[in-house]
């Protein structure tokens, strides 16, 4: 397989099976995140958001590597004006993945560095191979993360650990990433995708609108003070009382049976 596919070919695709959509990166050998990959990630995220047959999402780079970072050759010739125009689109592409209103897990093999680590951070959870390596090495290039790394790391790990990773540029092996909370599960390499499937499969038949509201409440509340967050939670909570899934869930509880949610 060619190291870089032709410009007209798809480098990111959404594969759907059994209610689970896999956003699959396919730009060997390292899944470098060039502009085409960034825009196709945005499109895949929008498709996963819109499709009713997608109830949960896995982000996957394949058996060898998740994504080793940005396409440095593409970026090297860019000056301030060019990157100032591109940076918003870059951040927006990753934000589209973060805003998928469904459970999302990143299945990480090999490298998840720079933009690859930032892509993993857009997921709700991260499953990593035992020999995976994560990190934000942009500082070694004289820059900083530009697709959410400084912001999502600080929210996930706290400012001190985020500064350690961003300002040192050091690479973090999977066991340390697990210990610090950067990943949520570590498994043998050949079990990464199946472990990700296992993590999100229970949500396929869950109450889709309540799951969306839960994600919106938690993610949105992180950017609010407590009083505003509680008001936001109350609004989302009350809105679910207009759904058929609320009626079904409570009826099933009263009738002592398993609920059959329809996502309505």
> Which residues pair with residue 225 across a beta bridge?
none
Q: Which residues contact 5 (CB under 8 A, 6 or more apart)?
A: 11, 26, 27
Per-residue confidence (pLDDT) for residue 86, from 0 to 100: 87
The reported pLDDT for the residue numbered 87 is 87
Q: Is the pLDDT of residue 1 over 90?
A: no
**pLDDT value at residue 30:** 94
Instruction: Provide the pLDDT for residue 7.
Output: 44
The pLDDT score that the predictor gives to residue 222 is 92
pLDDT at position 76: 84
Position 70 confidence tier, pLDDT thresholds 50, 70, 90: confident
pLDDT in tens, 81-126: 888 888 888 899 999 999 999 999 999 999 999 999 999 999 999 9
For the stretch 39-67, pLDDT in tens is 999 999 999 999 999 999 999 999 999 99
Task: Give the Cβ contact number of residue 184 at 10 Å.
Answer: 16
Confidence (pLDDT) at 6: 39
Token pair in block for residue 157? 């790990």
State the Cα angle at 115 between 172 and 150, rounded to 5°.
75
CB 110 within 8 A of CB 130: no
Q: At what angle do helices 208-221 and 226-239 cross, to 10 degrees?
A: 170
SS3 state of residue 195 = helix
Q: How far apart are CA 175 and CA 187, in angstroms?
A: 10
**What's the N-to-C CA distance of the chain in angstroms?**
44
The answer to whether the Cα torsion of 212, 218, 219, 223 is positive or negative is positive
- Look up the pTM and report it: 0.92
pLDDT digits (tens, 9 = 90+) for 217-250: 999 999 999 999 999 999 999 999 999 999 999 9
Which of the residues are catalytic? 118, 138
Q: What are the structural domains, with CATH classification, of the chain?
A: 12-203 (3.90.226.10), 208-254 (1.10.12.10)
With 60 as the cut, is the pLDDT of residue 197 above it? Answer: yes
Lowest pLDDT segment from 22-36, 63-77, 104-118:
63-77
CA–CA gap between residue 203 and residue 233 (Å, rounded): 21
Contact 69, 114 (CB under 8 A): yes
In angstroms, the CA 58 to CA 133 distance is 19
- pLDDT at residue number 144: 95
Half-sphere exposure of 70 (CA within 13 A, CB side): 24
Q: Residue 82: what pLDDT? A: 87
């Amino acid at each position: 397989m060619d190291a870089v596919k032709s410009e007209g070919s798809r480098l990111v695709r959404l594969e759907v099976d059994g209610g689970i959509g896999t956003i699959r990166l396919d730009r060997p050998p390292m899944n470098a995140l060039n502009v085409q990959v960034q825009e196709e990630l945005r499109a895949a995220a929008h498709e996963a958001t819109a499709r009713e047959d997608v109830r949960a999402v896995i982000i996957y780079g394949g058996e060898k590597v998740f994504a080793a970072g940005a396409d440095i050759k593409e970026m090297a010739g860019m000056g301030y004006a060019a990157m100032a125009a591109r940076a918003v689109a870059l951040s927006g592409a990753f934000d589209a993945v973060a805003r998928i209103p469904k459970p999302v897990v990143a299945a990480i093999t090999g490298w998840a560095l720079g933009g690859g680590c930032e892509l993993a951070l857009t997921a709700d959870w991260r499953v990593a191979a035992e020999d995976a390596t994560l990190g934000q090495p942009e500082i070694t290039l004289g820059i900083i993360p530009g697709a959410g790394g400084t912001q999502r790391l600080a929210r996930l790990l706290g400012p001190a650990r985020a500064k350690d990773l961003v300002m040192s540029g050091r690479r973090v092996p999977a066991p340390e990433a697990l210990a610090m909370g950067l990943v949520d599960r570590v498994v043998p390499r050949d079990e990464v995708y199946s472990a990700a499937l296992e993590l999100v499969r229970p949500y396929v038949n869950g109450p889709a609108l309540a799951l969306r509201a839960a994600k919106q409440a938690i993610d949105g509340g992180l950017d609010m003070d407590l009083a505003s967050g509680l008001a936001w939670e109350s609004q989302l909570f009350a809105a679910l009382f207009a759904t058929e899934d609320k009626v079904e869930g409570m009826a099933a509880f009263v009738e002592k049976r398993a609920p059959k949610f329809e996502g309505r």
